[in-house]
Amino acid sequence: MNTKRYTNRSDIKEYLSKVDPNVLDYIEQCETQIDKLAEIGYQLSKERNLPTLLNLIIKEGMRITNSDGGTLYLMTEDDRLAFEIMKTKSLGTDMGGISKVPIPEQIYPVKLYTADGTPNHNNVSAYVGLTGKTLNIPDAYENKDFDFSGAKGFDERFGYRSKSFLTIAMKNHENDTIGVLQLLNATDPESKEIIVFSEDMQKLVESLASQAAVAITNVRLIEGLENLLESFIQLIADAIDEKSPYTGGHCSRVPALAIMLAEKVNASTKGAFADVHFSQEDMDELRIAAWLHDVGKITTPEYVVDKATKLETIYDRVHELNVRFEVLKRDVEIEYLRALAKTSDPTQQAELEVEKIAKLAQLDDDQQFLQACNTGGEFMADDKKERVKLIAKHRLTLNGEEQALLSEEWVMNLNISRGTLNDAERDKINDHIVVTIDMLEKLPFPKHLKRVPEFAGGHHETMIGTGYPKGLTQDDMSIQARIMGIADIFEALTASDRPYKKGKTLSEAMRIMGFFKKDQHIDAHLFDVFLEEGVYQEYADQYLDAIYIDEVDIQPYLDMQPAPPRS
């Protein structure tokens, strides 16, 4: 009697080879399949692209069973099984998934329920989808339990013979069927004859289907979370849009422009960005940062964001200004009538009328001047500022109280040098970037979005440390943050929906961008890509009205070199 103890794998295999070599072969085949299944599980767990994942599932199912064909269905929200992938090796067909051939439109999803609401148990895939049970059918032509008219029609049309079927439900962690995997015509590797799917094959494919369901669920969960994040970002942009129609367009156009420039940088094969490559995750990170770059404006008061004139707060106080001038004109009329009543001399009466007309004309001129000042503009000269101060000294009586025509606050606003915002309001506007960074840094972004606050928060910085809020230089900033700066400035220059200015033509915007390049407010190398690759033109063709698109000679701006910073 052999009393030797076999304690390791090699000894066991040696013993089995002596007892029955076929047993050893079977064990080795099983080990290979298990190892392969473990490898498949790993591949399924790391794949994040759904079409690629589905292709991997059906490919491995066909390999494990050496089957000639396979179909993969996914459950739809309206209780149907949609064809996702169809393969038949012997016919050379490969449709759906990552294939370039889509599933034909005339191949409709399989209904799980009939028109009267009863379960569709006549169809194999519908039955499996409804019950979750595996069906292993040796020969479709001999089966009387299910309707194989579709398969038989296919056979007749293509000279094929559908015989053995293995149909397995893919169930998620809640035991809900999310799809069905159907394999067709298992084939003997040596004789090439169509055989029945064995019990071992069935168990392996059921294990594959279980792993596949988990992988599909994970991918869908990740996609769902990403869609939720995208929707939330869109919701924030919509909220800003509802708050101010003058920034909503900005929030959508800046991402488009930033991605256009990033794609050109990505494609660069020479120059400063020849070695730069953005992955798809990098591009997604930039796009999300661009969408969120002005999220801090949610906290900015509407009257500041929308301030169309210098005197506007909750309303445009130019109307109050006009009332004050009407009071002054009334006082001139009253003064004239009182003086007229004191004299009967025609000469004096004529002089009084001439004086009245002159005063009224001067008031009209002063009123029109202040109205013009109120609209804002590119620059207000010092002599105009002095005239505002002089006009402010007019005295009038309102509600029994004598007061100056213009308060100090009104004079300060009317004397704003550029635009419509005073220093306090501009600080409030500028503060939005601080709020943006603070808000974004509090969000628990996943690893591949960790740089969103940095990208979004750098669009008001310059290359020489003169920007805000952190006074960063080019070396402190990522390429993506510098891209954001160019996108933000160019969109703002060309926008035609701002309340305080008209949109600039392409050539006017480019001239100003040239000054920004020279003064090192923007990245000179990025701006060169912006010019050479025609990003400005591509953007203009998509987003600008035709009246703003004119010819641009980019060579002077390419030749322009950044000036050294002023000491």
Predicted confidence (pLDDT) per residue in 26-39, tens digit: 666 666 666 666 66
**Is 82 in contact with 105 (CB distance < 8 Å)?**
no
User: What are 159-162's contacts with CB under 8 Å, separation 24+?
Assistant: 160/88, 160/90, 160/91, 161/185, 161/194, 162/69
**Strand, helix or coil for residue 19:** helix
Report how far residue 169's alpha carbon sits from residue 177's, in angstroms, rounded to the nearest whole number.
6
CATH of segment(s) 244-300+441-559: 1.10.3210.10
For 304: left if phi > 0, alpha if psi spans -120 to 50, otherwise beta; the answer is alpha
- Greater confidence (413 vs 168) lies with 168
The two three-digit tokens of residue 452, written as one number? 């969103």
For 52: left if phi > 0, alpha if psi spans -120 to 50, otherwise beta; the answer is alpha
DSSP 505: P
Q: Is the dihedral of CA 222, 223, 228, 229 positive or negative?
A: positive
**Strand, helix or coil for residue 38:** helix
Mean pLDDT, the chain, whole residue set: 87
Instruction: State what percent of residues in the chain have pLDDT above 90.
Output: 54
Nearest to 163 by CA among 144, 138, 187: 138
Give residues with Cβ within 8 angstroms of 289, minimum separation 6.
451, 452, 453, 454, 455, 456, 480, 484
Residue 400 — very low, low, confident or very high, per pLDDT cuts 50/70/90?
confident
Of the ranges 26-40, 193-207, 301-315, 548-562, which one carries the lowest mean pLDDT score? 26-40
CATH of segment(s) 14-221: 3.30.450.40
DSSP lists the bridge partners of residue 167 as: 135, 182
HSE, side-chain direction, 13 A CA sphere, residue 517: 22
Region 523-546: mean pLDDT is 95
Residue 409 pLDDT: 87
**Is 484 in contact with 258 (CB distance < 8 Å)?**
yes
Judge if pTM exceeds 0.75.
no
Look at residue 13 and tell me whether its pLDDT is greater than 70: no
Residue 32 pLDDT: 64
User: What does the domain layout of the chain look like in residue ranges?
Assistant: 14-221, 244-300+441-559, 318-420
Of the ranges 356-360, 499-503, 557-561, which one carries the lowest mean pLDDT score? 499-503
Residue 523 pLDDT: 96
**Is 276 in contact with 266 (CB distance < 8 Å)?**
yes
Residue 429 pLDDT: 73
Q: Which amino acid, one-letter code, is at 247?
A: T
